[in-house]
Amino acid sequence: SVHGGHSGSFCGHAVDPLAAVVATYAEQGFEWICLTEHMAPLRHAMIPPEERKDGMDVAAVQKRFTAYFAEARRLQSQWRGRMEILVGFETEGYTGYESEVAELINRHQPEMLVGSVHHIHDLLFDNKIEDYHRAAQISGGIEGLYCDYFDKQLELINRFEPAVVGHFDLIRIHDPDYRERWKVPAVMDRAMRNLDRIGELGLILDLNVRALSKGAEEPYISEPLMAYAIANGIAMTTGDDSHGVASIGKGLAAGVGILEANGGSSNWVKPECNRHRN
């Protein structure tokens, strides 16, 4: 799993201790996993809603992030020889992310990054549907929102070259008509441009199956985009995006089935360590 291992120890919207999460991956027979906790913001305005509700400030989220790296590395040593653990983190794409991600890379020396965008116009679009619609309004409509998302994603890919690109088309999360967007040239051209860049850089797409357990009919990445990636030899590896023991491995079989039905390979590519830029 290239994306997952969020835990109640270090994430306000996850459950269970990280040690239990890692042990469950081992019980399920994973040969290697990536631990990719969400980055801790360096500005109060971008602290996630759950953490803010718990009264956490920048110092508190940074302290917890440091503790995450210490515990993840302890578990990496503990499981060495039985299950390989790559310790990394998941990025954001809000205003000022470039300097924050660079600072956190230098401070914590992760082995890999999942490059993800969860904000457009600094609105967290994958949580509350009203924030999704507000972001779309600022973008001048739903198609504009998709265009802004893919432009932001390309900027992040070019700046950091993360080993894994997280939930490629997350922007569809609150859009029941998302399949119609793939017919819009301005949207599809950007998506294919980003996939081309991912291919050029040799990055891996997170075949993110968490969408399936949240009621979606297909994982992130949607079939037309998946077909383009497969046709162009872009690597895809499953990510369960687990947020606790119960979600580990969930949806993987269904996601692999969809990938293979589209001609994709389940010879999983492991992220290259320390290939990101800082």
- Residue-wise pLDDT for 9-35, tens only, equals 999 999 999 999 999 999 999 999 999
Closest by CA to 32, choosing from 2, 7, 5, is 2
Q: Are 114 and 210 in contact (CB under 8 A)?
A: no
Mean of pLDDT values over 168-193: 98
How many CA atoms lie within 13 Å of 37's alpha carbon, on the beta-carbon side? 32
Mean of pLDDT values over 187-193: 99
Instruction: From residue 178, give the alpha-carbon distance in Å to each of 128, 188, 243.
Output: 17, 12, 25
Q: Which two tokens stand for residue 5?
A: 């291992």
pLDDT digits (tens, 9 = 90+) for 205-231: 999 999 998 899 999 999 999 999 999
Q: Are 255 and 212 in contact (CB under 8 A)?
A: yes
Instruction: From residue 84, give the alpha-carbon distance in Å to each of 55, 108, 167, 208.
Output: 35, 19, 23, 20
Q: Which two tokens stand for residue 175?
A: 């859009």
pLDDT score recorded for residue 193? 99
How many CA atoms lie within 13 Å of 268's alpha carbon, on the beta-carbon side? 17
- Percent of the chain exceeding pLDDT 70 equals 100
Main-chain phi, psi angles of 28, to 5 degrees = -80, 0
Beta bridge partners of 207: 238
Q: What residue type is assigned to position 54 of the chain?
A: D
Q: Which two tokens stand for residue 172?
A: 């569809």
Q: Are 146 and 185 in contact (CB under 8 A)?
A: no
Instruction: From residue 104, give the alpha-carbon distance in Å to each of 40, 128, 203.
Output: 8, 27, 21
Q: Which domains does the chain carry?
A: 18-261 (3.20.20.140)
Give me the DSSP letters along 177-196.
THHHHTT-HHHHHHHHHHHH
E strand or H helix at 130, and its extent?
helix 129-138
What is the C-alpha separation between 37 and 58, in angstroms, rounded? 16
pLDDT score recorded for residue 228? 98
What is the C-alpha separation between 89 and 96, in angstroms, rounded? 17
What is the C-alpha separation between 239 and 112, in angstroms, rounded? 14
What is the C-alpha separation between 275 and 278, in angstroms, rounded? 10
The angle subtended at Cα 38 by Cα 34 and Cα 39, nearest 5°, is 115
How many CA atoms lie within 13 Å of 231's alpha carbon, on the beta-carbon side? 9
What is the C-alpha separation between 94 and 135, in angstroms, rounded? 13
pLDDT digits (tens, 9 = 90+) for 97-154: 999 999 999 999 999 999 999 999 999 999 999 999 999 999 999 999 999 999 999 9
